[in-house]
Amino acid sequence: MKLKNYLLFGLAAATMTASFQACKPKGAGSAVSGDAAQRTYIPPGQHDEFYNFVSGGFSGQMSVYGLPSGRLFRVIPVFSVDPEKGWGFSEETKPMLQTSHGFVPWDDLHHIEASFTDGMPDGKWMFANSNNTPRLARINLQTFRTDEIIEIPNTGGNHCSPFTTENSEYVIAATRFSVPPDGEGDVPIDSYKENFKGHISFVSVDKQTGEFDISFQLKTPGLNFDLSSAGKGVSNGWLFMSCYNSEQAHTLLEVNSSKNDKDFILAINWKKAEEYIKAGKGKKQNNVRYAHNKWDEHTHTAKHEIKTEVTVLDVTEFEDLAYLIPCPKSPHGTDVSPTGEFIVGSGKLAALIPVFSFDKLQKAISAKDFESELYDGIPVVKYESALHGEVQKPGLGPLHTEFDDKGNAYTSFFVSSEVVKWNINTLEILDRQPTFYSVGHLMVAGGNAKKPFGKYLVAYNKITKDRFLPTGPELCHSAQLFDISGDKMELLLDFPTIGEPHYAQALPADLIKERSLQIYDINANKHPHKTNGESEARVERNGNIVRVYMTTIRSHLTPDVIEGIQLGDEVYFHVTNLEQDWDMPHGFAIKGANNSELLIMPGETTTLKWVPDRVGIFPFYCTDFCSALHQEMTGYARVSAQGSNVPVKYYTGEKTE
């Protein structure tokens, strides 16, 4: 098999090590064009052009910035508890973080992708992956809240997700660490080649509700999957996945999974897989356990269930389902051009960028232009037969490629700390700009769509030595905004980020802002413990369960005096926000609570569980500044000894007997 000029592993490893010393790239400086500040400045009262949704990596959350300003608007809690918003602390949200392993309060959110209609973002949902305990999430872009989380079975590390098909028929999730299928029991690790498998999950998305369902999984040999892209346009119906560890090593992967001079891109005909599933060719696997958690906008409550079945197709049993394309070693990303014709591979240890042609791939498959040997039962297409061409000497450590609206591609280079612009058809390098430093992913506005919006590129950098004020041993990660509307990329802005960004999506503000929910209609509130106005506010005891039906409105809580609580009681504060005015949430907190505050949106009901641990008086108050008399929005709860004869009493302003 002929593959051209790869970097020696030792050289690449040494170069990577050197890059972590954060030496500045050649020609690097702090200067930007003279009008950069003007081009990123958004005057008071005006809005940004784009929402920029950014993964938080080890923060487990998703953040939302404006472009071009770089202003942080919101942190959306997804896979990690968030005391600011009560996520994972309120009784309503706790089920969202349940898994087959129980309640998991943290995860590693690496990648996000927008929902698509005809290959373009439609502004409905943002999808997110969790890498550690494998899950997918769906975020509602009307409420900027997480509406659904589903666990992925047969998977170790859900890094390769969430990649959607052209109309978001499916969100794709594939294993990062190949593992034995669920239910296999005690398997020796050194039996990797015999017993470890990869699984690719096709999670369907309901067109109206967005609801997830694992339609089927494809079982593969024990490869590790990295960033992938679904086909679009001419390649719609196909999926292209970067694969590494073709050696199927299980220890010291930095050496043992970098021995071969190639790894692969796995090309899957998912339309054909659908046909096989509909024909009943899939096998039911009943020894899996995975969580499916859904938020109900009407009851403002999450529901959690465990599912126990999934349908699996083994790709090695079907000769027209999957094909491997050789790719320079250890590819990190596979990216499909806006037309769907070109597939870009990014081998981290390669000195070139291979660009494959979908048309040539189809011709090679038809002609069975394969290598003489299968790879674990999968045909291997000859490299040259699928190749459009190679971008020569583009930089060191290519990771990820996005596209603009003018036929150009932009690739991030981790080792040489730069973004390189090149032409998709001619493969000519057009421009290169340094980043500060060690850029991982990058994002072009609409860069994974059929018609990119272009204009802005954001580089997400891993190292920021000397870019910002120091903050001890750990520095923030950075995003660098480039204007790509002209022939040359122009650096406009650095801004710090939440956690460790990996991937992002920028959507035009007009696609989202007019659909943004302003209040929850209190008349549509179906929460089982909603309080319909102050006249219904009350405290009820049932054994050792005490329920406080409380309301909030500027600037008092009802009731604000509560007596008759005893040690040993479980107290549930069901707080209904009576406001029907935009941007008027109220908070609730009580001394000694071992969870968090509540943050209750207008028209919403939310619950805090409190188990007092001592006799005494416990103040509670609104935590979200809401009016000039916010400080007065307080109250007291009295806790008496267990068995006390103090009756349950409650009132606001007027004592009731």
Contact 293, 98 (CB under 8 A): yes
The string of pLDDT tens digits covering residues 214-236 is 999 999 999 999 999 999 999 99
Q: Is the dihedral of CA 95, 96, 100, 101 positive or negative?
A: negative
Contact 159, 221 (CB under 8 A): no
The whole-number pLDDT of residue 53 equals 98
pLDDT beyond 50 at 536:
yes
349 vs 358, more confident: 358
CB 324 within 8 A of CB 339: no
Specify the 3-state DSSP secondary structure of 386.
helix
Q: In the structure, what pLDDT confidence band is assigned to residue 321 with cuts at 50, 70 and 90?
A: very high
What is the tens place of the pLDDT at every residue in 125-158? 999 999 999 999 999 999 999 999 999 999 999 9
Of the candidates 651, 650, 630, 649, the one whose C-alpha atom is nearest the C-alpha of residue 556 is 630
pLDDT digits (tens, 9 = 90+) for 277-320: 999 999 999 999 999 999 999 999 999 999 999 999 999 999 99
Say if residues 605 and 537 touch (Cβ distance below 8 Å): no
| Tens-digit pLDDT profile for residues 81-126 | 999 999 999 999 999 999 999 999 999 999 999 999 999 999 999 9
Radius of gyration for the chain, computed over Cα atoms and rounded to the nearest angstrom: 27
- CA 604 to chain centroid, in Å, comes to 26
- Is residue 414 within 8 Å of 397, Cβ to Cβ? yes
Total residue count of the chain as it appears in this document: 657
Mean pLDDT of 186-203: 97
Q: What tokens does 545 get?
A: 């369960």
Domains of the chain and CATH, by start:
522-651 (2.60.40.420)
Mean pLDDT of the chain: 94
- What's the token pair of residue 578? 């009576």
Write the burial class of residue 340 (CB in 10 Å: 0-12 exposed, 13-18 middle, 19+ buried): buried
Residues with Cβ within 8 Å of 529's Cβ and at least 6 positions away in sequence, in order, are: 547, 549, 572, 574, 605, 607
pLDDT digit string (tens) for 545-592? 999 999 999 999 999 999 999 999 999 999 999 999 999 999 999 999
List the beta strands (DSSP E) in 111-197: 112-117, 120-130, 135-140, 145-151, 160-164, 170-174
pLDDT given at position 620 = 98
Q: What is the mean pLDDT of residues 402-429?
A: 97
Rounded mean pLDDT of 205-222?
97
**Distance, CA of 35 to CA of 19 (rounded, Å):** 31
Predicted model pTM: 0.94
Percent of the chain with pLDDT over 70: 95
Of 11 and 203, the one with more pLDDT = 203
